[in-house]
């Protein structure tokens, strides 16, 4: 069956207990930020297009307390990791903070360096239930949780758009991953019971109520074949899109239409580049259509759009994998499944499937029978974005 996701309170208590054990006193501040799943709108964010993610119940929690020094001591005690990992660094000169080991601490350091106000040293414990390397944005959850924690200890609350951009910059500069803006945005702005349509050009958002999902569900299936976002494949695709926009004299593919493909062909753009462009342009159209379908409760249409999205990611953008294709095809073969696609960057990670509630056990058992790897399943319940938590047990 689907995995049980510990509720936020349970994770918070673990973090508070771990803080007390490690530092011998109670934490004074506690925050959390969620991972995300993208319903549709893949590889569109860095092209100033549209995305339609929702925040998940899986979260990264940080519990901590200023320590009256210039030193930050942070313990990562993720439930997925049995051994505890510790990072310690001086923050008196933020410009002197550099990425290093342990790797997870780079996301924290990046946020500290980008935080606009001066900071006190602090002790903290980080615990996360967002699976790492599954394409559910464990890095964005850590960045946004860190930023929210810094807001909590300084009392300075940033504008949400600037906060998301600052966290994205942390990932660019400290993890070397040239990601788009989707993951940080939804982790900051998610709302309970809602998916979010984000226009990545002007950063405007529409919160879409998911109440009228009625007897339909989104099921996440983790292929447990880790995605390698930092691999050059992501960067190559991003560069091909930027190059195509440049060839057409446009700032981004958002200003390009399907008609312009003919010009690209005349200009001698490669078939691969044209396929990348075709994916992005159609994916933007699909994402806007998906928002309308979701608002109208037209799940049949939404499912079709999800299927088209996956097929284009597989054939035009070439970011699927045999594992993801097997999961998608198996899900689609079950009656009551309306659509299934890879979610996130691709190359591994997870799929998202829209299905009628009544067929969920059938889908899960068919995947278990067909898939040779070990799949895990989560219900994609649209959840709240980053927030402060109280420090009560």
Is position 183 annotated as part of the catalytic site? yes
Choosing from 17, 183, 202, 315, which is the catalytic residue?
Answer: 183
Least distance (Å) from ligand GLA to the CB of residue 229? 6
Q: What tokens appear for 95 in the block?
A: 């410009």
Least distance (Å) from ligand GLA to the CB of residue 90? 30
- Using alpha carbons only, what angle is made at residue 362 by residues 358 and 366, rounded to the nearest 5 degrees? 160
Least distance (Å) from ligand GLA to the CB of residue 360? 26
Nearest to ligand GLA of 35, 57 (CB atom): 35
CB neighbour class for 238 (10 Å; exposed up to 12, middle 13-18, buried from 19):
middle
Question: 210, 285, 271: which is closest to 40 by C-alpha?
Answer: 285
Nearest to ligand GLA of 324, 334 (CB atom): 324
15 vs 126: CA distance, rounded Å: 7
Nearest to ligand GLA of 57, 180 (CB atom): 180
Alpha helical stretches, state H, 224-380: 232-247, 260-266, 271-296, 299-315, 322-332, 360-370
92 vs 115: CA distance, rounded Å: 13
Least distance (Å) from ligand GLA to the CB of residue 36? 9
Q: What tokens appear for 120 in the block?
A: 């006190």
Nearest to ligand GLA of 183, 323 (CB atom): 183
Question: 121, 147, 153: which is closest to 28 by C-alpha?
Answer: 153
CB contact at 8 A, 328 and 310:
yes
309 vs 283: CA distance, rounded Å: 6
Least distance (Å) from ligand GLA to the CB of residue 14? 27
- Which residues, in sequence order, are CB contacts of 238 under 8 Å at separation 6+? 46, 178
Least distance (Å) from ligand GLA to the CB of residue 263? 26
Asked if the peptide bond before residue 102 counts as cis, ω within 30 degrees of 0, the response is yes
Q: How far apart, in Å, are the Cα atoms of 160 and each of 63, 138, 181?
A: 21, 19, 12
Q: What tokens appear for 367 in the block?
A: 């995947």
Q: Are strands 376-379 and 216-222 parallel, antiparallel or unpaired?
A: antiparallel
Nearest to ligand GLA of 283, 323 (CB atom): 283
Q: What tokens appear for 337 in the block?
A: 């499944």
Largest CA distance in the chain: 69
Nearest to ligand GLA of 200, 331 (CB atom): 200
Least distance (Å) from ligand GLA to the CB of residue 183? 5
Q: State the residues that interact with ligand GLA by CB under 6 A.
A: 42-43, 45-46, 179-180, 182-183, 229, 344-345
Alpha helical stretches, state H, 297-359: 299-315, 322-332
80 vs 291: CA distance, rounded Å: 34
- Which residues, in sequence order, are CB contacts of 116 under 8 Å at separation 6+? 156, 158, 166
Nearest to ligand GLA of 66, 178 (CB atom): 178
Nearest to ligand GLA of 136, 261 (CB atom): 136
Least distance (Å) from ligand GLA to the CB of residue 350? 11
Cite the active site residues: 183
């Amino acid at each position: 069956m689907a995995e049980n996701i510990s509720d936020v309170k349970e994770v918070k208590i673990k973090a508070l207990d771990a803080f007390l054990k490690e530092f011998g006193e109670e934490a004074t501040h506690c925050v959390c930020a969620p991972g995300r799943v993208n319903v549709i709108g893949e590889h569109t964010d860095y092209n100033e297009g549209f995305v339609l993610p929702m925040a998940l119940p899986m979260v990264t929690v940080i519990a901590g307390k200023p320590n009256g020094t210039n030193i930050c001591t942070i313990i990562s005690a993720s439930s997925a990791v049995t051994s505890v990992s510790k990072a310690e660094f001086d923050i008196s000169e933020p410009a002197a903070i550099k990425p290093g080991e342990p790797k997870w601490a780079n996301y924290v350091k990046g946020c500290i360096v980008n935080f606009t106000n001066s900071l006190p040293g602090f002790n903290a414990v980080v615990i996360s239930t967002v699976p790492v390397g599954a394409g559910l944005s464990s890095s964005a959850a850590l960045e946004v949780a860190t930023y929210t924690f810094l807001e909590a200890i300084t009392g300075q609350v940033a504008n949400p758009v600037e906060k998301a951009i600052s966290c994205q910059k942390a990932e660019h500069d400290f993890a070397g991953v040239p990601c788009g803006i989707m993951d940080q945005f939804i982790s900051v702005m998610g709302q309970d019971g809602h998916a979010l349509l984000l226009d990545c050009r002007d950063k405007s958002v529409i919160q879409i109520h998911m109440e009228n999902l009625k007897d339909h569900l989104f099921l996440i299936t983790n292929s447990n074949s880790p995605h390698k976002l930092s691999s050059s494949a992501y960067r190559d695709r991003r560069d091909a899109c930027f190059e195509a926009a440049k060839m057409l004299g446009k700032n981004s593919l958002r200003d390009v239409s399907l008609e312009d493909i003919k010009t690209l062909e005349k200009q001698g753009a490669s078939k691969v580049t044209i396929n990348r462009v075709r994916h992005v342009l159609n994916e933007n159209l699909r994402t806007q259509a998906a928002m309308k379908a979701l608002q109208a409760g037209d799940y049949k249409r939404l499912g079709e759009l999800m299927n088209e999205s996956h097929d284009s990611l597989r054939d035009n953008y070439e970011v699927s994998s045999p594992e993801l294709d097997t999961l998608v095809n198996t899900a689609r073969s079950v009656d009551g499944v309306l659509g299934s696609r890879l979610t996130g960057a691709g190359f591994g990670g997870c799929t998202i499937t829209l299905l009628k509630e009544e067929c969920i056990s059938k889908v899960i058992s068919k995947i278990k029978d067909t898939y040779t790897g070990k799949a895990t399943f989560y219900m994609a319940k649209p959840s709240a974005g980053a927030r402060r938590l109280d420090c009560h047990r």
